[in-house]
Chains A and B, each alone.
Chain A
Amino acid sequence: MTDRNQSDRELPLYRTNRGVGLLVGGIFVLLLLYIMLGADSFRVLRDGFYLGTFPMIGAGACIICSAVMVFDRFRNREIEELGDLTGKGLVFVTASVAAGFIFIQLIHYIGFGAAGVVYLSTMLFVSGVRPVRNALMFAVGMTFGVYALFTIVGVPLALVPEWAGGGG
């Protein structure tokens, strides 16, 4: 991460440490409220300790640190990487995470072999590997490489799904 000195008027709030502090602080205020309003947070345990003490300390510490970010001498510094994070970029990252979620579901339904090839060929293509044939070939090779690696260390993956006679 690199911070850059900027004056207040040049930068939108969300690209400064102050903006990040407000965002993170806001999230943890909500979490602290969730904990404090929970039925068991003030339940006294056998050793006399409140059940919610440590979670509240954790959330409280996050709020304090976020507050420091809002008011300390770095508060108006730009977070350069935030400038690179456009709407498209955010969609790309979210889609990458979603692809991981779909991949693990696919393993369940079509087995690691096919799911791995589908996932990797898609990701390779999206990353810029062309033509599609190359992406597919690399995907097949990498999938079986990962399968072989885990098999060697004694963690076999189900190449085919349970319904087709695989390990599930």
Chain B
Amino acid sequence: MVFDAFAFQEALALVLRPETLMWLALGVTLGVGVGAMPGLTTSTGLALFLPLTFGMDTANALGLLIGLYKGSIWGGSISAISFATPGAPDSAATVYDGYKLMEKGKGKKAILVALYSSVTSDFLSDVVTIIAAPLLAIVALKFGPSEKFWLMVLAVALLGALSGAHLAKGMLSAAIGLFIGTVGTDPVAYVERVTFGIWWLNEGVQLVPLIIGIFAMSRMLEESLKLFIERKSMGDMQERIKAMFNKGSEGLTFAEFRSCWKEMVIGFGCGTIIGALPGLGATVAAFVSYSVAKQVSPEKKIGTGRIEGIAAAEAGNNATVGPTLIPLLAFGIPGSSAAALIGAALTLQGADPNPRFFSLYPEIVYSLFMILMLGNAFNLVIGRVFGLLYARLGQLPREMLIPLVMMMAIVGSFVYRGEFTDVYVMLFFGFVGFFLRIFGVPEAPLVVTYMVTPLMEQNIRRALLIEQGSLFHALFTSPLAICLALAAVILTYLSAKLQVMERIAHIEEQDAKERNSAQEARATAGGNQRRPSDHIDE
């Protein structure tokens, strides 16, 4: 990609407008809140706020969503440290050391090291994204329809294989996405198909209701069911959180922060690589970084309440934020649910991510890069000023949160086009998504495959036309296409054989069990603890 000075200036003017900066600040503020509240994940937050971007221009929309994304990844560490309950799975690895520090009365120090390591690593990985994405886009431009088809198959296979502990369930999710992506009309001849006799399905399943249903509504249904079954107590954390605000509470010195450099480098390296690969994501990055840091520096006794452990985990998960956008920007293929949601926002703005994205919309690319970088500064300032206040958000009763999020999901899918049918679709996929969650089928492969299915079909049919109907030649037109096809098969086989995700899931499960037993022990010792709902009763 040749540097376009005019587009750069345009992007600079767009991003530095007070309104864009305001949306970015609001995005980060909301994002940290979303991350800090157990039950709300990054994907839920992004899906929920996606409808708000309809009326905005592209820079404002990106400001809100990228800010929210960055903020929520870090925000998860707040409740992980404060309550041993990660706001999102991305921060589960932070619990090991974070909560132990909290119990020692060093919660402020733990939150600050999480913030600084997150921002540092996020910034460095954004630099890598800015360098790598345009270079890969140049490579992607050389791809023909056959290569593009196989690249999408490879991405979907990786996403399916690496999205959960059970390969068949990941692949099932991708297959369901493939099926949903074919509903409506075929993407080449625009002939109606698989509409089940419902006229409004002629236009296919709309992206926004699907996303809100799968990521937001289904999660809220699951949370409301949990609430229905058991009322979990947050425990007697009030006093400890209050202690964090005391002037005498131990903060973080620069020397302490500097002592974590090795763990931050590990987190940055692991997070950047894992983030750029489809399917793995922030949770895996955090666990891998944490495990590597533990192996590399056994003398630091990571896991016993050390700031180095927090630094490794938080640097690992935040380093995925920028790189997860690389496949989306370079190839037009979202590699994660967050990338799919940001891709959806770009599509709604009329800028479909594809290999020509850099030449077609340079001002959007530059805006995105600037927002990525600026987002770190906002994350740092907002996190530093309000970080400790967010710890109180974790105590926000779920009884209030769940109905509110459900209402936002319904209204958000309605205002998208002003069609009641979109709400029906959202509710349907909320219900389907709920069962997928219960069955343990990951949702990200479904949404990503749904998004790339029309492109896959277009490309294979274009390849067939070029090769005059010969399927073999259309599929294996070049050595690169053959390599990509082989890579899809081999990587899927290896992920099944090596049981990578099963091992990671096992570690997470053990961790969750330890946390639960610790919380139960505290609850038993605490005796007459108050339920979250008791706060409302008063």
Interface residues of A (CB under 8 A from B): 1-3, 17, 20-21, 24, 28, 31, 34-35, 38, 40-41, 43, 45-49, 51-52, 54-55, 57-59, 61-62, 64-66, 68-69, 72, 74, 79, 81-82, 84-85, 88-89, 92-94, 96-97, 100-101, 103-105, 107-108, 112, 116, 119-120, 123-124, 127-131, 134, 138, 142-143, 146, 149-150, 153-155, 157
Rank and list the top 7 A-B pairs by shortest CB-CB distance, nearest first: A1-B440, A154-B55, A58-B179, A123-B403, A61-B175, A65-B172, A58-B178
The answer to whether A129 and B427 touch across the interface, beta carbons within 8 angstroms, is no
The answer to whether A69 and B461 touch across the interface, beta carbons within 8 angstroms, is no
Q: Taking the complex as formed, is B255 at the interface, i.e. its CB lies under 8 A from any CB of chain A?
A: no
What is the CB-to-nearest-CB distance from B344 to chain A, in angstroms, rounded to a whole number?
17
Q: 6 new A-B pairs (CB below 8 Å) besides A93-B434, A149-B52, A153-B56? A: A47-B464, A89-B225, A92-B228, A129-B533, A130-B536, A138-B536
- Docked Cα-Cα span, A92 to B60, in Å, equals 39
* Chain B binding surface SS class: helix
What is the CB-to-nearest-CB distance from A82 to chain B, in angstroms, rounded to a whole number?
6
Given A54-B453, A65-B168, A104-B420, the answer on whether A155 and B403 have CB atoms closer than 8 Å is no
Interface residues of B (CB under 8 A from A): 51-56, 164-169, 171-172, 174-176, 178-183, 186, 188-189, 191-194, 196, 217, 221, 224-225, 227-229, 231, 397-400, 402-404, 406-411, 414-415, 420, 423-424, 427, 430-431, 434, 437-441, 453, 457, 461, 464-465, 469, 509, 512, 533, 536-537
What is the CB-to-nearest-CB distance from B150 to chain A, in angstroms, rounded to a whole number?
15
What is the CB-to-nearest-CB distance from B205 to chain A, in angstroms, rounded to a whole number?
12
A-B contact pairs, 5 of them (CB 8 A): A1-B438, A74-B168, A82-B439, A94-B431, A155-B52
Find B415's partner among A82, A92, A157 (CB 8 Å cutoff): A157
The answer to whether A96 and B224 touch across the interface, beta carbons within 8 angstroms, is yes
What is the CB-to-nearest-CB distance from B315 to chain A, in angstroms, rounded to a whole number?
28
Given A62-B179, A79-B440, A130-B536, the answer on whether A69 and B172 have CB atoms closer than 8 Å is yes
The answer to whether B181 and A40 touch across the interface, beta carbons within 8 angstroms, is no
CB contacts (< 8 Å) of B51 on chain A: these are 155
Find B402's partner among A24, A61, A127, A150 (CB 8 Å cutoff): A127
The answer to whether A138 and B400 touch across the interface, beta carbons within 8 angstroms, is yes
- Docked Cα-Cα span, A100 to B427, in Å, equals 7
Given A47-B188, A58-B175, A69-B168, the answer on whether A155 and B415 have CB atoms closer than 8 Å is yes
The answer to whether A51 and B440 touch across the interface, beta carbons within 8 angstroms, is no
The answer to whether B427 and A62 touch across the interface, beta carbons within 8 angstroms, is no
The answer to whether A101 and B424 touch across the interface, beta carbons within 8 angstroms, is yes
CB contacts (< 8 Å) of A92 on chain B: these are 224-225, 228
CB contacts (< 8 Å) of A142 on chain B: these are 400, 403-404, 407
- Docked Cα-Cα span, A154 to B431, in Å, equals 30
The answer to whether B414 and A127 touch across the interface, beta carbons within 8 angstroms, is no
The answer to whether A58 and B181 touch across the interface, beta carbons within 8 angstroms, is yes
Closest A residue by C-beta to B415: A155
What is the CB-to-nearest-CB distance from A130 to chain B, in angstroms, rounded to a whole number?
5
CB contacts (< 8 Å) of B221 on chain A: these are 93, 96-97
CB contacts (< 8 Å) of B171 on chain A: these are 61, 65, 68
The answer to whether A150 and B52 touch across the interface, beta carbons within 8 angstroms, is yes
- Docked Cα-Cα span, A138 to B175, in Å, equals 42
CB contacts (< 8 Å) of A17 on chain B: these are 166, 168-169
Closest B residue by C-beta to A116: B407
- Docked Cα-Cα span, A108 to B509, in Å, equals 46
The answer to whether B410 and A85 touch across the interface, beta carbons within 8 angstroms, is no
The answer to whether A124 and B438 touch across the interface, beta carbons within 8 angstroms, is no
CB contacts (< 8 Å) of A74 on chain B: these are 166, 168
The answer to whether A93 and B225 touch across the interface, beta carbons within 8 angstroms, is yes
- Docked Cα-Cα span, A131 to B410, in Å, equals 26
CB contacts (< 8 Å) of A68 on chain B: these are 167-168, 171
- Docked Cα-Cα span, A108 to B423, in Å, equals 13
The answer to whether A100 and B186 touch across the interface, beta carbons within 8 angstroms, is no
- Docked Cα-Cα span, A148 to B427, in Å, equals 24
